[in-house]
Amino acid sequence: ANYQASQQFQNRKKWYDGKVTAVVQPSTKKGVAVYTVTYGDGDVEEGVLAEDIRARKNTTNEDVDTDELEETKEKRKKVKAKEMARKSMPYVFEVPTTLESLYSLISTHAKTGSEVSTILNRIHTSNSIRLKNNTNNAEKMQNFYDVCLRRFMAVGDAISDSGDGGKALGRHEQLNDLTRVLYRMTQDSPSIAGAVWGRRIGILHKALLKRLRDVPLHHQDVFTAWPSVGTVLLLKALPHIFPVTDYRHGVVLPSLLYLTQTLVQCPIRNHGDLVTGVLIAGLVVEYTREAHRVSPEVLAFLAGVLRLFVVPNKWNECAKKNLIPSLANVVNYPDLLTLRDGLVSNKKGYSSENPPKLSLELKRNASTNLEKIDSAKGAAGVFCATLHMIDTLMDTFRGKVEYSENELFSEIAQSLLCLGEDIAPKSKTNTPSKKKKKMSILPSYLSERLSSTVRKMTKITGQTHRAPLLRRLPPPTQSIKTLAPRMADPTKYSLSNDARQSKSQSQAESDRLRREYKREHKAVSRELRLDGQFVEMERRKELEYKAGKDRKKRNENFAWLEGEQAAMNQQVSVLPLFDLFTKCVFVMCVVCVFVKYTVHLGNSN
């Protein structure tokens, strides 16, 4: 039936499957019968005309109206266009300045992860600011750098949610290619890269502060204050782009402060937070290892993580020693109280060839219907990763901290003492009961791994006593050679040449005064001479100015007289002829007036 035919735009028809359930006959002969139709979704329409009802065709495929056919054709055309675009990927791309424009390019020209990497490489290659024609692309490439950072975090988050994605997506390889692109762009313009990284770290820090404020408002299984896996992976790529051994660096040091603040202030409320904290602690160790920087936040965090694996009867005693804020309230979260049970219950055949690894694999809980990290599989990974980082720190700072290993590793040593029952296997005479063995004895590989760390700690902290404090001479200070002239102090007596001439002090003083008087006399004469020259030059300039004004005025008068004489001559030539006497009188008058005016001008000057 044609649904709501009277209300359709421009008499369009929308045919839907239905069933005629009633027929209303007309009351008169000229009337028209109408029908009541019940559609497949339960909707009922009354008063349907016969022209809006048709029989369903006996075909296997459903009828599709004209609009649906056109939409299907357009979709097919778009799919074909995308396929053609993927097959003919251009070598030159416009610089995408937003993440949406980059996704548009990817959806148009890429179908696999390798093609995405090819697009990013071609964008950088064709728009690098090192090229002569692309010197004005600095602003666009700066925005593209930020887009690459956001793309990196998005791919990292996708790895956390869905894994690598197989050969088609290859998210791990995408991150490797993105790291190479970021490194090349950093080499092109370190100032641009530093500015973009600084702005991105500032955004991450503000987001961290916002999450820390929101922690008390959310449930532990729903909300976490720790950064996402994509953010952690982005900071993992940072040491491969910038040097971490510089004493001061505009990008590395803010990133290190961000990581240590996260490690100290973000509360650990479940096993996923603990795994993320161990990953960030490993990043801090990587940042500080080559430069031999001491990070007390990492030492305190690793010591606190070790205390989570103590036997239950020592839990209250050792948990109180967790002074770091992120581990201060672990007693309130039951997921963290069963970490040791996960170590003991997991009887897999761990070995040096097959050690336990950190895992972020999610497992759905049937009771709460929430995805959590399997603590039984991840506890051994957290334990071994913590011991590995402690071994790395001991190898890094051995002999590098002026015999201060005892003070540096004091917290970790106390945590290892809390695990004293697991350091070595018990003897046969003191074999514990089955119940105690199940609660306290670790698997053999984990126990041997712990014993190796304890032996190394004992060797480092107990090899020598700390030397007493010594006062060492500071390095000699050497000033820069000055090129300023030496100025003699007239109030200070110096023998100089007077000593060579065997003069007395009074004679030397009188000679010095005479020399000073002579110098001052010459200086005064020189100044007077310069002043006289200046005064004379100014006087001549003033006279020249006045003479110029008079000369100009006189020239104007002469010109006026010449003009008057020319006018009179013209008038005389027009008049009738005078006699000779009249002409002579007229000429003498003009000459007298001219001479008189000239004499007057001379007297005024």
Report whether 161 contacts 116 (CB < 8 A): no
Q: What is the pLDDT of residue 324?
A: 83
Higher pLDDT, 481 or 466: 481
Q: Calculate the alpha carbon distances from 346 to 151, 180, 386, 445, 452 in Å.
A: 38, 40, 18, 12, 21
| Structure-block tokens of residue 169 | 């997506």
CA 533/CA 526 separation, integer angstroms: 11
Q: What is the pLDDT of residue 254?
A: 94
CA 605/CA 603 separation, integer angstroms: 5
Summarize pLDDT for 135-188 with one digit per residue, the tens. 678 888 999 999 999 999 999 999 888 888 888 888 899 999 999 999 999 999
Please report, as a single letter, which amino acid is at residue 211.
R
Residue with tokens 């709501």: 4
Question: What is the pLDDT averaged over residues 451-456?
Answer: 88
CA 5/CA 377 separation, integer angstroms: 63
Taking 70 as the threshold, does the pLDDT of residue 45 lie above it? yes
Q: What is the pLDDT of residue 422?
A: 62
Question: What is the pLDDT averaged over residues 102-130?
Answer: 87
Q: CA-based angle 230:233:236, to the nearest 5?
A: 155
Taking 50 as the threshold, does the pLDDT of residue 429 lie above it? no
Give residue limits of the domains in the chain.
Answer: 5-52, 263-426+433-466, 509-604
CA dihedral 168→169→175→179, nearest 10 degrees, is 60
CA 482/CA 479 separation, integer angstroms: 8
Q: Which residues pair with 363 in a beta bridge?
A: 372
CA 123/CA 140 separation, integer angstroms: 11
Give the number of residues written for the chain. Answer: 605
Q: Calculate the alpha carbon distances from 531 to 255, 519, 534, 537, 544 in Å.
A: 68, 18, 5, 10, 20
Other beta carbons within 10 Å of 470: 5
Higher pLDDT, 293 or 346: 293
- Rounded to an integer, what is the distance from CA 138 to the centroid of its chain? 16
Q: Phi/psi zone of residue 399: left (φ > 0), alpha (ψ -120 to 50 degrees), beta?
A: left
| Structure-block tokens of residue 65 | 């109206």
Task: Name the pLDDT band for 362 (thresholds 50, 70, 90).
Answer: low
Report whether 45 contacts 16 (CB < 8 A): no
Residues 6+ apart with CB under 8 A from 84: none
Q: What is the pLDDT of residue 432?
A: 46
**First CA to last CA distance, the chain:** 122
Question: What is the pLDDT averaged over residues 87-112?
Answer: 85
Nearest of 466, 454, 322 to residue 408 by alpha carbon: 466
* Beta-strand relationship, 18-24 and 34-39: antiparallel
Report whether 159 contacts 229 (CB < 8 A): yes
Taking 50 as the threshold, does the pLDDT of residue 369 lie above it? no
Q: What proportions of the chain, in percent to the nearest 5, are helix, strand and coil?
A: 65, 5, 35
Residues 6+ apart with CB under 8 A from 391: 452, 453, 456
Residue 348 three-state SS: coil
Residues 6+ apart with CB under 8 A from 319: 307, 330, 331
Nearest of 384, 377, 365 to residue 338 by alpha carbon: 377
Nearest of 307, 315, 280, 308 to residue 389 by alpha carbon: 280
What proportion of the chain, given as a percentage, has pLDDT over 90? 25
Please report, as a single letter, which amino acid is at residue 152.
F
| Mean per-residue pLDDT of the chain | 79
Residues 6+ apart with CB under 8 A from 134: 127, 128
CA 266/CA 6 separation, integer angstroms: 63
Q: What is the pLDDT of residue 433?
A: 45
CA 531/CA 521 separation, integer angstroms: 15
Q: What is the pLDDT of residue 18?
A: 84
Task: Name the pLDDT band for 30 (thresholds 50, 70, 90).
Answer: low
Residues 6+ apart with CB under 8 A from 597: 557, 561
Residues 6+ apart with CB under 8 A from 419: 306, 309, 310, 450
Question: What is the pLDDT averaged over residues 416-439?
Answer: 55
CA 529/CA 531 separation, integer angstroms: 5
Q: What is the pLDDT of residue 66?
A: 66
Please report, as a single letter, which amino acid is at residue 571.
Q
CA 173/CA 179 separation, integer angstroms: 10
Residue 480 three-state SS: coil
Higher pLDDT, 420 or 574: 420
CA 392/CA 283 separation, integer angstroms: 12
Q: What does the DSSP 8-state code read for residue 579?
A: P
Q: What is the 3-state secondary structure (H, E, C) of 136-203?
A: CCHHHHHHHHHHHHHHHHHHHHHHHHHCCCHHHHCHHHHHHHHHHHHHHHHHHCHHHHHHHHHHHHHH
